[in-house]
Structure 1
Amino acid sequence: MKFMKYGFLSLIFLLGVSLFVGCSSDEETTEIRLAEVTRSIFYAPLYVAISEGFFEEEGIEIDLTTTWGGDTTMTTLLSDGADVALVGAETSIYVYAQGANDPAINFAQLTQTDGTFLVSREPVEDFEWDDLKGSTFLGQRAGGMPQMVGEYVLKQNGIEPHEDLELIQNIDFGNIPSAFASGTGDYVQLFEPQATQFEEDGIGYIIDSFGTQSGNVPYTVFMSKQSYLEENEEALESFTRAIYKAQQWVQEQPEEVVAESIVDFFEDTSLETIEQVIERYRDQGSYAETPILDEDGWYLLQEMMDESGELPMDVPYEDLVNTDIPNQIVNE
């Protein structure tokens, strides 16, 4: 009888511990609302961090929303519709220049080159950038990173974008591929997987990469409002740790393994195409290997903005870049 009594009490105790542990686990999980500027294979390490459970390991639950465009993404962040934004670092400069009381702070880098490719309507043998002179070039929206990098690369190759070619920049980001497919432009600046899909369909031909031409810049970064970062530094450390795990994983795994990990995020893209895109981005060093946004890249970004007439003011590195979080994670 005594044995049954103690056994019953032990069972109650074990159940209590189990319930307590369950509650504790829930309390330790932090939800972070993440707004991404677009859905792109260019952001593969983010999707890997979700699908491989790296966020979960760090006690982070991601609520991911695609907000389609830099303006919309920053509006979402600044109006507290998101805790973290994945967007071009230039947007934080625009916000800062407007005198924001609670600026957006860049705390982790995801991509470190431009993600677009130069696509021609016809095959081009022995391509040289001078071939673009006198052509119709379908570029990206003014003020965004693709446009600024595009113009910077053209100038680096001796082409004045607004003088040496007919530059079209009034087409919405999402409609640029269809505009080219329907006959607009001799050349177009395209992200993946559209560039590879156009090659497969015989619509266009990849002849060069803006990413390899431009050098390393903080092209896409994670940022949060300064107030959120100060109040949730531990959560953002965990977030960044998960991203760093994913960055290392993407570098180490074969492209087919990475493609399999993220395929569910791209229902309309074949596994084979995803593999090709990952290989191309990885070979040209587009995926940042660590979350650290370096100082040289920050000032190259502002040089590009200035070249295109879009830099509202010079912003010191330390004003909008948090280095404590990524440096701590990388040096652990």
Structure 2
Amino acid sequence: MARWIKITFSLLVAFIIAFSLSACGNVASKDKKPLEKVRVAEVTRSVFYTPLYVALAKGYFKDEGLDIQLKTTWGGDKTMTTLLSNGADIGLVGSETSIYVYKQAATDPVINFAQLTATDGTFLVSRKKIDHFSWDQLKGSTFLGQRKGGMPQMVSEYVLKKHGIDPHKDLKLIQNVDFANIGNAFTSGTGDFVQLFEPTASIFEKEGKGHIVASFGTESGEVPYTTFMAKQSYLKSHEQAAEKFVRALYRANQWIEKTDPNTIAKTVQPYFKDTKTTILASSIERYRKQGSFSKNLILSKQGWKTIQEIMMEAGELNKPVDYNKLVNTKIVKHALK
């Protein structure tokens, strides 16, 4: 009898403890603030944007209280349209698009508040293997480039001119192929050279479809190539959310800096299900080595000057836009104090 009472008492105590813990858990979950939803539109899905995917995969945004809803809008014009029509809160796209919008006398300009990539992300891929490449080998060739007015194409023209090549006279320049179809066009026989992002460039090289001979990112130097931007009205009313967003990205950058490429590749693999981990790792390391991932997330005055020089060189801008009108560095500086 005594033993039965002892067992019953033990079970009762266990039940009370379990109930108490459950109740405490319910209180904690009620007290915990719900995550703030932030809609992000990325211009394309690219290994070039690895810090963003790391921050998502490792839960850094959630740690800051943010629920990031990411969608790919496939193109600078579509991304900007999505942002301007309130289909997204933040856009990840080339900083030149904010200048195009400003030039159209926008009443609510789009502001660059954090820089993700600090170089061009494309590579020059040759159809034939070239042991000793020099830029003058492009003269007389057919070059499958990117969309006119887009940053990849403007940077490529800037680099070609830097090496004494007139892209509109010294070679046959093809610019009428959609971004998503450029790789397919090259494998189908169009062009002697093509401008490609990773991991496509590495995949082509591994499969013998092409050979990487140069990096436009290395040749062009520091450029605020891809930035996070939002309408001025959004940043005014959601400044704290923007700062939290930046802190998560910065944490991802720090992790990338001290982590081996294979581990990084495995972390972002869910965002590139059709790409082998080994290819992802080599692509990430290629970008990391050439300094493509912006370490401090700040779009510098020099970078802003360079991008406008590139735009003017390409005939897409006739007058510079003041740095302070379209760039906000306070958000990054406050977030990283």
Fold shared by both chains (TM-score > 0.5): yes
Question: SS where residue 110 of structure 1 aligns?
Answer: strand
Aligned match of 2:29 in 5, 18, 22?
22
1:1-332 pair list within 5 angstroms: 18-27=25-34, 29-311=35-317, 313-330=319-336, 332=337
3-state SS of the aligned residue for 1:298? helix
For 2:322 and 2:180, how far apart are their aligned partners in 1?
A: 33
Residue of structure 2 equivalent to 1:5: none
Residues in 1 aligned to 2:127 and 2:257: alpha-carbon distance in whole angstroms: 33
Task: Give, as a single letter, the amino acid of the residue that structure 2 aligns with 1:203.
Answer: K
- Looking at structure 2, the residues matched to 267 and 13 of structure 1 have their Cα atoms a distance apart, in angstroms, of 44
TM-score by length of 2: 0.92
Q: Would you identify which runs of 4 or more consecutive aligned residues in structure 1 move more than 4 Å?
A: 9-18
* SS at structure 2 position matched to 1:21: helix
Q: Deviations over 1:138-184 (max 9, x none)?
A: 11000101000000000011101001000000111111000000000
Tell me how far 1:24 sits from its aligned partner.
3.3
TM-score by length of 1: 0.94
Residue 20 of structure 1: CA displacement?
4.2
Unaligned runs of 5+ in 1: 1-8
Q: Distance in 1 between matches of 2:318 and 2:229?
A: 19
Per the alignment, do residues 313 and 17 of structure 1 end up closer, same or farther by CA in structure 2, a change over 3 Å counting?
farther
2:315 and 2:76 map into 1 onto residues whose CA distance is: 18
Larger mean CA deviation between 9-18 and 184-193 belongs to 9-18
User: Secondary structure at 1:189's aligned position in 2?
Assistant: strand
Report the CA distance between 1:14 and its aligned residue.
7.6
Q: Could you tell me how far 1:32 is from its partner in structure 2?
A: 0.3
C-alpha displacement of 1:10: 11
Q: What's the offset of the Cα at 1:15?
A: 6.7
Amino acid at match of 1:24: D
- 1:11, distance to aligned residue in structure 2 (A): 10
Structure 2: which amino acid aligns with 1:217? V
Aligned residue pairs total 323
- One-letter amino acid of the structure 2 residue matched with residue 180 of structure 1: F
Q: Distance in 1 between matches of 2:247 and 2:289?
A: 24
Specify the code of the residue in structure 1 equivalent to 2:239.
E
Once residues 207 and 14 of structure 1 are traced to their aligned partners in structure 2, the CA distance between those partners, rounded to angstroms, is: 62
Asked whether the equivalents of residues 97 and 313 of structure 1 are also in contact (C-alpha less than 8 Å), the reply is: no
Q: Which amino acid aligns with 1:21?
A: A
The CA deviation at 1:214 is: 0.3
Kindly, what percent of the aligned residue pairs are identical?
Answer: 57
Cα offsets for 1:106-127 (capped at 9, x unmatched):
0001000000000001011211
Equivalent position SS for 1:39 = coil
Any stretches of 5+ residues in structure 2 without a counterpart? 1-15
3-state DSSP class of the match of 1:288? coil
Deviations 1:249-300 (A, max 9, x none): 1111110111011001001100000001011111111111121111100110
Asked if 2 retains the 8 angstrom alpha-carbon contact of 1:94 and 1:312, the reply is no
* Two-structure CA RMSD over aligned residues (Å): 1.7
CA distance in 2, matches of 1:242, 1:79: 26
Secondary structure of 2:173's counterpart equals strand
